[in-house]
Amino acid sequence: MGVARSRSLFGPYEKNPANPILAGNQTWKCPGHGSIVQDEQGRCFFLYHAYSAAGTIFTGREGMLDEVKFGPDEWPTMNDGNGPSVHAPSPFGAVQKAVGASFSDDFTGRNLESGWEWPQQREPVHQLQNGKLLLAAGGRETNFLAAVLARSTTTLNYAATAAFETSALKPGCAIGLCAIGDSRNAIGASYRDGRIITWRISGHTTDELAEQPAPTGPKLYLRLEARGGYRFQFQASADGENWQSCGEPVDAKNLPPWDLSVRVALTVGGTANAAGSFDSFSITPLVAPKPPAQ
């Protein structure tokens, strides 16, 4: 695609004071912040983002693409003025694939699967070796988020599970699972020195919400269950089947900044140069609970 033609997408404001050609609809809301480009056939496309009306801010903004058409009066329109498209042909006929909300990784590949993320300018030390993900903090930070490797969430109700061995951990090292908005807003559960600590980071403050003995076994499983995108319950298990709750359910509506989604992250921290290894990770959608009968 080339450079856009010299027509403005934002003409006289009497048509819509907020956005003259693109407004939300029942499926997508708050569309905008995009760029217009032109292809070799002279067609114009607008690449932008919007929130799912069903997912709200907790699943974040999603990438959108709509063709821009100019009428006889040179006024641009998209999707016949009906807001972001729900379905539309791809520009060059490429087959479109639905992206599922499930994800799993057993770390047996040579490289990480695409889609893993970390806080800006804080890439953790990570390596795949012998079917394990080795994760380490690159500096001397000692908080629970010293090393973070995360996945985006695309649904409001889900369970995320991580499995790891604890025998090789150094004293004071904390390894765990969390829901994170950014480096100053997160809630999680970590194993440290035979115990599981449920914690919350808000701004510059870290609060330990609950602490209990970890289940005994050769491997430990931590599970984060999310409801509505912001209500979290952590659980622990020695076999991945029989679970015990870690603390009480916690509401975290303020977890993501307004323009970011909640991510689920593997974490290592607790001591300087902390390091740990994970055996597997998965995210599975959950059926939304039914509202109570009136």
Query: Number of folded domains in the chain?
Result: 2
pLDDT tens digit string along 179-224?
Answer: 999 888 999 999 999 999 999 999 889 999 999 999 998 899 999 9
pLDDT tens digit string along 46-92?
Answer: 998 887 877 666 777 778 889 999 888 888 888 988 889 888 888 88
Q: What is the pLDDT of residue 183?
A: 87
Same-domain pairing of 63 and 141? no
Q: What is the CATH number of the domain that holds 160?
A: 2.60.120.200
Q: Is 80 helix (H, G, I), strand (E, B) or coil?
A: helix
Has residue 271 been placed in a domain?
A: yes
Last residue of a domain, one of 97, 126, 150: 97
pLDDT tens digit string along 36-58?
Answer: 888 888 899 999 888 787 766 67
Same-domain pairing of 89 and 124? no
Q: What percent of the chain has pLDDT over 70?
A: 87
- Residue 212 to residue 17: CA distance in whole angstroms: 55
Q: Which domain holds residue 244?
A: 103-285
Has residue 59 been placed in a domain?
A: yes
Same-domain pairing of 32 and 113? no
pTM: 0.78
Q: Contact at 8 Å (CB) between 158 and 242? A: no
